[in-house]
């Protein structure tokens, strides 16, 4: 099969790669659409790159089952599916609580297991056994289905933040995940403020339902948030960037009794937090990582019902043969969310 194979930092080669085989309890999926995540791009550029090379990255996938291993029930060759990307042990402290995203022994597609940037992907039993292989209804497209994984991460954050209808939610960062937070918060029934320094991102946030957009390079974010919230601050602040000074500045924008969620911060950065502020104002400071199979399935349902529209998230389409263009588009920040399609589709953007 053909795959985008990573040999090292900025060393990705489109080449023949061994075809996967479905073992007992496993399936092989013929990839139809693979999503390009910012984490994939950072890894390809050398940030957190595994020592176990060469490898195939990509953890967002939809496609059709091409092989069914012995003992697999409920699935057949030709079934359209989406795949939750984490392979979990089901035995550790966190798995026993069904907090599978915190599994102590997890592997994942593109992270220890060959991933979605290939014509075929083996889905191990450790994904299937926890409900991570989900059959698609006829009404949902492969492109929409591949958006369920990033959406599920913001859905998990909303769940962890105990987000409720009528709250004001401030989202710091209007990149692809920030926009997914907009969609999740609006579905929940919240008033949404988005802050970024790129006007085109803010415009997209407005098109996707954000009630207020603030360019924090030209406007005073604190003043704007306090004006919108009548001096209280936001009930939920989601920080979807990893700049320490910005994180520290945004802590003061949380209302009393509110929640500040650190979403997607890079490791090994430090921020200062006043414990007296946490105590006296009853602030909940939390983080969220990935999602559970239940979150993933719920998001597929919401997409299928068109309760949340995700098709407008896809700004670029590529094929494996134009994979280098995909990386360059992501590096230049032109891309909102890109996909690799396995068929005759032309790269487009807006």
pLDDT in tens, 324-336: 999 888 877 778 9
Mean per-residue pLDDT, 157-174 = 97
Phi–psi pair at 170, nearest 5 degrees: -105, 125
pLDDT (0 to 100) of residue 283: 98
pLDDT (0 to 100) of residue 348: 34
Same-domain status, 114 and 191: no
Nearest to 283 by CA among 262, 258, 263, 261: 258
SS3 296: helix
Same-domain status, 113 and 196: no
The Cα 306–Cα 300 span in angstroms is: 10
* Cis peptide upstream of residue 54 (ω within 30 degrees of 0): yes
Residue 18: DSSP 8-state: P
Same-domain status, 139 and 172: no
Please give the residue range of the domain that contains residue 214. 154-288
Phi–psi pair at 64, nearest 5 degrees: -120, 140
Nearest to 6 by CA among 32, 34, 44, 41: 44
CATH number at residue 164: 3.40.50.720
Residue owning tokens 């966190």: 94
Same-domain status, 64 and 137: yes
Same-domain status, 8 and 40: yes
Q: How many structural domains comprise the chain? A: 2
pLDDT (0 to 100) of residue 266: 73
Phi–psi pair at 36, nearest 5 degrees: -105, 115
pLDDT (0 to 100) of residue 268: 82
Q: Could you tell me the pLDDT band of residue 130, with boundaries at 50, 70 and 90?
A: very high
Same-domain status, 8 and 138: yes
Same-domain status, 225 and 331: no
pLDDT (0 to 100) of residue 345: 38
Q: Of all helices (H) and strands (E), which one includes residue 151?
A: helix 148-160
Same-domain status, 100 and 22: yes
Same-domain status, 141 and 234: no
Same-domain status, 270 and 336: no
Q: Does residue 6 lie in a domain region?
A: yes
Predicted confidence (pLDDT) at residue 204 exceeds the cutoff of 80: yes
Predicted confidence (pLDDT) at residue 346 exceeds the cutoff of 60: no
Phi–psi pair at 81, nearest 5 degrees: -145, 160
Share of the chain above pLDDT 90, in %: 87
pLDDT (0 to 100) of residue 350: 31
pLDDT (0 to 100) of residue 49: 77
């Amino acid at each position: 099969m053909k795959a985008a194979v990573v040999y090292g930092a900025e060393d990705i080669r489109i080449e023949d790669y061994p075809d996967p085989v479905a073992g007992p309890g496993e399936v092989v999926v013929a990839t139809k659409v693979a999503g390009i995540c910012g984490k994939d791009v950072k890894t390809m550029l050398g940030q957190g790159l595994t020592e176990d090379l060469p490898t195939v990255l990509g953890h967002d996938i939809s496609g059709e089952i091409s092989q069914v291993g012995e003992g697999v029930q409920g699935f057949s060759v030709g079934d359209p599916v989406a795949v939750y990307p984490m392979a979990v042990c089901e035995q550790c402290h966190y798995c026993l609580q069904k907090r599978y995203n915190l599994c102590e022994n997890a592997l994942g597609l593109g992270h220890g297991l060959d991933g979605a940037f290939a014509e075929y992907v083996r889905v191990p039993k450790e994904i299937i056994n926890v409900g991570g292989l989900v059959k698609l209804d006829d009404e949902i497209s492969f492109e929409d289905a591949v958006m369920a994984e990033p959406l599920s991460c913001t859905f998990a954050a909303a769940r962890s933040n105990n987000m409720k209808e009528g709250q004001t939610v401030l989202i710091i960062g209007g990149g692809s995940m920030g926009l997914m937070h907009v969609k999740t918060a609006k579905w929940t029934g919240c008033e949404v403020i988005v802050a970024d320094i790129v006007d085109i991102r803010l415009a997209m946030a407005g098109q996707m339902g954000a009630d207020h957009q603030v360019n924090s390079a030209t406007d005073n974010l604190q003043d704007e948030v306090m004006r919108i919230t009548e001096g209280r601050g936001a009930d939920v602040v989601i920080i979807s960037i990893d700049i320490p000074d910005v994180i520290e500045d945004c802590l003061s924008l949380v209302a009393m009794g509110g929640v500040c969620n650190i979403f997607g911060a890079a490791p090994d950065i430090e921020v200062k937090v006043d414990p007296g502020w946490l105590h006296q104002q009853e602030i909940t400071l939390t983080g969220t990582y990935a999602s559970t199979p239940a979150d993933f399935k719920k998001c597929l349902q919401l997409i299928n019902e068109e309760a949340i529209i995700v098709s407008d998230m896809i700004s670029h389409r590529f094929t494996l043969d134009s994979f280098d263009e995909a990386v360059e588009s992501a590096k230049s920040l032109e891309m909102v969310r890109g996909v690799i399609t396995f068929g005759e589709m032309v790269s487009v953007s807006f």
